[in-house]
């Protein structure tokens, strides 16, 4: 019996130990051991934590910064705005680079910025009070970067396949580890990784992330997501100077007042999935096979977006009228929880 030759397998298919493409049904998608997968997830989470952490760590000191530098609060808040702009633009550059050159060098290299920039800022201003925030960023970012360089394995499939291929050069971990069940105790038995393409800035595909804006449905989705995020960024930025001026709180109390904001996000992320699953189950029970999956998922979005908008108005009114601090803190908790559910639903 002759077997018909099937279509060629795409480059994203898993590879065997010899580096050959195999059918995805014949092997697991990733050959990494469970504890290696857990380590990769932890490293990715901590690295992602660095970006918002860097912009928010000195927010409680904004009022002090404006006084010591003799600038207005608006000028001080521009530093946060500038950071958020580049924070939003950065993925359009790091994404194509990591898809071509690998995850490991880009991820470890990107963390050099938070390590170096605060040192430069601290040396220029030569102050030793609120600058401690930036020195902490140096220590924290440097520690995370060091751990990434030592332990984080390369995961780009075009270079190492399903993870069973042996990396070399900057893609190789400093600390030798058994990454896969097939690698055994002798790491040299694994096939060598594919050579990455020669660096060509014109072929990095930097334009690809921007092409999504040509699709109207995705553009509307991005706008509906970005507007509430902008409101959140403004609210978190002005919270600190408002607490200092209207309530006379010091830096420690101001920092503690941000805890309900973060707690709201944390609680929202936990219950969002369960709420969406519950709503989906109810819709499926009602509509059966005619269920529109997208409508079922988005149904909760407008509800919690409305709660978010009302919560922001109530929160700002409480701060303006100098209501007891318990009121705005409770409001901001439920407001941020609603925004997280909205973000997840969208």
User: Are residues 266 and 163 both part of a single domain?
Assistant: no
pLDDT above 60 for 70? yes
The mean-pLDDT minimum among 10-19, 197-206, 246-255, 297-306 falls in: 10-19
Same-domain status, 146 and 220: no
Which pLDDT value is given to residue 253? Answer: 81
Q: Is the CA virtual torsion 82, 86, 87, 88 positive or negative? A: positive
* Same domain, yes or no: 225 and 192: no
Final residue of a domain: which of 147, 170, 198? 198
Percent of the chain with pLDDT over 90: 3
Q: Are residues 265 and 170 in the same domain?
A: no
Between 292 and 219, residue with greater pLDDT: 219
How far apart (Å, rounded) are the C-alpha atoms in residues 329 and 318? Answer: 10
For the cut 80, the answer to whether the pLDDT of residue 123 exceeds it is: no
Note the Cα 228 to chain centre separation in Å.
17
Pick the range with the lowest mean pLDDT from 67-71, 218-222, 292-296: 292-296
Is 22 inside a domain boundary? no
Return the C-alpha torsion angle 296, 301, 306, 311, nearest 10.
130
Q: What is the pLDDT of residue 17?
A: 43
Residue 5: pLDDT band (50, 70, 90) is very low
Mean per-residue pLDDT, 3-13:
46
Q: How far apart are CA 305 and CA 339, in angstroms?
A: 6
Give the span between the Cα atoms of 48 and 43, in whole angstroms.
8
- Contact between residue 115 and residue 54 where contact means Cβ atoms under 8 Å apart: no
Query: For the chain, what is the mean pLDDT?
Result: 71
Q: Where are the alpha helices (DSSP H) in the chain?
A: 34-56, 62-68, 73-101, 103-110, 112-125, 132-151, 157-160, 216-242, 251-257, 259-287, 293-298, 300-320, 326-345
Higher-confidence residue of 338 and 55: namely: 338
Residues 153 and 259 in one domain: no
Q: What pLDDT does 28 receive?
A: 59
Mean pLDDT of 149-163: 70
pLDDT score of 227:
83
pTM: 0.60
CB atoms within 10 A of CB 231: 15
What's residue 3's pLDDT? 44
Residue 284 per-residue DSSP state: H
Residues 166 and 241 in one domain: no
Same domain, 166 and 34: yes
Percentage of residues of the chain with pLDDT beyond 70: 61
Using 50, 70 and 90 to split pLDDT, how confident is the model at 39?
confident
Query: Residue 202 contacts by C-beta under 8 Å, 6 or more apart in sequence?
Result: none
In this predicted structure, what is the pLDDT of residue 176? 62
Same domain, 153 and 263: no
Residue 271 lies in domain: 215-345
| 254 shares its domain with 341 | yes
Q: Do 172 and 49 belong to one domain?
A: yes
51 is a domain residue: yes
The number of domains in the chain is 2
Residues 227 and 332: their CA atoms lie apart, in Å, by 17
Does residue 173 sit in the same domain as residue 114? yes
The mean pLDDT of 151-169, rounded to a whole number, is: 68
Mean pLDDT within 119-141: 61
Write the pLDDT tens digit of every residue in 175-211. 666 555 555 544 556 666 666 666 666 666 667 777 7
Q: What is the pLDDT of residues 46-57, one digit of tens each?
A: 777 777 677 667
- pLDDT top residue among 307 and 174: 307
The answer, yes or no, to whether residue 20 has pLDDT greater than 70, is: no
User: Is 240 found in the same domain as 130?
Assistant: no
Across the range 270-299, mean pLDDT stands at 76
How far apart, in whole angstroms, are the C-alpha atoms of residue 122 and residue 256? Answer: 25
């Amino acid at each position: 019996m002759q077997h018909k030759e099937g279509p060629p397998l795409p480059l994203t298919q898993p590879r065997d130990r010899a580096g050959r493409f195999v059918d995805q049904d014949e092997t697991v998608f990733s050959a990494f051991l469970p504890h290696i997968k857990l380590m990769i997830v932890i490293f990715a989470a901590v690295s992602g934590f660095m970006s918002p952490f860097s912009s928010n760590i000195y927010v409680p000191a904004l009022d002090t910064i404006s006084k010591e530098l003799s600038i207005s609060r608006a000028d001080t808040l521009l530093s946060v705005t500038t950071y958020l702009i580049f924070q939003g633009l950065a993925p359009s550059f790091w994404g194509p680079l990591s898809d071509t050159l690998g995850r490991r060098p880009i991820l470890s290299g990107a963390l050099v910025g938070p390590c170096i920039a605060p040192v430069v800022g601290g040396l220029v201003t030569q102050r030793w009070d609120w600058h401690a925030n930036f020195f902490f960023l140096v220590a924290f970012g440097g520690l995370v970067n060091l751990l990434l360089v030592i332990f984080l394995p390369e995961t780009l499939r075009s270079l190492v396949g399903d993870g069973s291929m042996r990396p070399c050069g900057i893609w190789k971990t400093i600390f030798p580890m058994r990454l896969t069940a097939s690698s055994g105790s002798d790491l040299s038995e694994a096939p060598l990784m594919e050579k990455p393409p020669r660096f060509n800035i014109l072929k990095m595909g930097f334009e690809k992330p921007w092409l999504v804006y040509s699709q109207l449905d995705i553009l509307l989705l991005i706008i509906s997501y970005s507007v509430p995020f902008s409101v959140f960024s403004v609210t978190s930025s002005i919270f600190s100077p408002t607490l200092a001026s209207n309530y006379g709180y010091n830096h420690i109390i101001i920092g503690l007042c941000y805890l309900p904001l973060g707690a709201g996000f944390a609680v929202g992320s936990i219950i969002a999935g369960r709420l969406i699953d519950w709503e989906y189950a109810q819709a499926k029970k009602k509509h059966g096979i005619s269920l529109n999956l997208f409508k079922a998922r988005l149904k909760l979005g407008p509800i919690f977006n409305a709660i978010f908008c009302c919560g922001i108005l109530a929160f700002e009114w409480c701060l303006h009228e100098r209501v007891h601090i318990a009121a705005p803190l409770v409001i901001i908790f439920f407001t941020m929880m609603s925004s997280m559910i909205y973000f997840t639903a969208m």
